[in-house]
Amino acid sequence: VAVYIDEDLAEPGPYGYDAELITDLMSELGTNDIDVVLLNRAPPLLYHRVLRDGKLLVTRDLAATTTRAGYALSRYFDFIPQLRKQAAARRFANRSRQE
């Protein structure tokens, strides 16, 4: 479950808002197999995957959600050159090991 929260309005418990949310979801859904991502703190690649593969269930402000998604995509596209460098370094390392 990925959520974006207004950190000014969220009341964090002693272990943080995400821990409180996980506890509530586990209780309501009757399972411990729950992962929660706070999109406020998500790295660009993870936020992109959430936007690409996830399903929007609830939004209270579609304009704000769209603005955040646009900003997240911009950060992701800015990050692509770094991802390409990392992939090239892995390929080089793998070739070096094979020799």
What's the pLDDT tens digit per position in 62-88?
A: 999 999 999 999 999 999 999 999 999
Helical (H) or strand (E) element with 49? helix 44-53
Instruction: Please give the angle made by the CA atoms of 53, 55 and 57, to the nearest 5 degrees.
Output: 160
Mean pLDDT of the chain: 90
- Residue 80's pLDDT is 94
Q: Which amino acid is at 47?
A: Y
* pLDDT at residue 5 tops 90: no
What pTM, to 2 d.p., does this model score? 0.73
Q: How many CB atoms lie within 10 A of CB 4?
A: 19
User: For residue 24, what pLDDT band results from cuts at 50, 70 and 90?
Assistant: very high
41 burial level (CB within 10 Å; 0-12, 13-18, 19+): exposed
